[in-house]
Amino acid sequence: MCEVIVIASGKGGTGKTTVCTGLAVALAKAKNKVLIIDCDSGMRGVDLMLGISDRLVYDISDVISGACEYADALYRVEGDFELYSIAAPLYADDEVSPSLIRRFVDQVREEYDYILIDSPAGTGSGFYAAANAADRALVVINAEPISIRGCKNISYRLRELKMTDCRLIINRFDKKRFFDMGLYRDLDEVIDEAGMRLIGLIPEDMRVIALSQRGALAHNWSQTAVIFDTIVKRLEGVDVPIVVK
């Protein structure tokens, strides 16, 4: 049975698109058939990170409006796995309404093991469309106050949507920087303040930036790939301890 997961954050730039693509690749490598739906209209990024933007002609608004067939807007990511992506519209004016996104997801979900939806930052209409179509949520934060505040905001909205399965990912974690800041006693304090159970701790890794700029995230993830593999295991209910490095 397919699981539809939204990747969200209150604050922009926490790493949602990076996490979405990284998890999608990890899930696909674990023999799952995976679809990423980019819901960040006007600021889409999944295609850039996966290196498929040169091939892109159609996006989800074209499918919904009937300007193309669903298969025309479905882009397969090259690799030894089954990973597909549907782009968000290039312009925010073409954003698709929450009810139509939901209907689309319900129509295609049984073709996949997982559908990951990349949400825009914040709690606007794009977030609502992404979250409303999902079964569970991953909220990405950085270990800092503004990001945690964003998480609380998102939590509140997710509760309104009756989403009960919400898990926290702390991204771009740098142990030295974290303790040098002197804002928190330890990571437990961050997790307590965010008010959500942790499912992944992803270190700051400069290679992630380099790979994402080159559209190579699907192919070479170095150490960070291992972290995504463990998050996938936890998503599937396996108890893998989280190590703070």
Ligand X SMILES: Nc1ncnc2c1ncn2[C@@H]1O[C@H](COP(=O)(O)OP(=O)(O)OP(=O)(O)O)[C@@H](O)[C@H]1O
Binding site for ligand X (CB under 6 A): 9, 12-18, 40, 43, 45, 121, 171-172, 202, 204-205, 208-209, 212
| DSSP states of 84-107 | EEEPPPSSGGGPPPHHHHHHHHHH
| DSSP states of 70-82 | GGGG-EEPSSSS-
CB closer to Mg ion out of 12 and 145: 12
Among 14, 17, 85, 171, binds Mg ion (CB under 5 A): 17
Determine if 230 is a binding residue for Mg ion (CB under 5 A).
no
CB closer to Mg ion out of 117 and 168: 117
> By three-state DSSP, how is residue 53 classified?
helix
Which one of the spans 43-51, 73-81, 166-174, 223-231 is the region binding Mg ion (CB under 5 A)?
43-51
CB closer to ligand X out of 14 and 155: 14
Distances (CA, A) of 20 to 24, 36, 147, 168, 183: 6, 8, 18, 13, 28
Beta strands in the chain (DSSP E): 3-8, 34-38, 75-76, 83-86, 114-118, 136-141, 166-173, 197-203
Rounded to the nearest whole angstrom, what is the least distance from the CB of residue 22 to ligand X in the complex? 8
Determine if 44 is a binding residue for Mg ion (CB under 5 A).
no
Among 3, 10, 15, 16, binds Mg ion (CB under 5 A): 16
Determine if 171 is a binding residue for Mg ion (CB under 5 A).
no
Rounded to the nearest whole angstrom, what is the least distance from the CB of residue 109 to ligand X in the complex? 23
Rounded to the nearest whole angstrom, what is the least distance from the CB of residue 16 to Mg ion in the complex? 5
Which tokens go with 184?
């928190």
Residues 42/95, Cβ–Cβ less than 8 Å: yes
- Chain contacts with Mg ion (rule: CB under 5 A): 16-17, 45
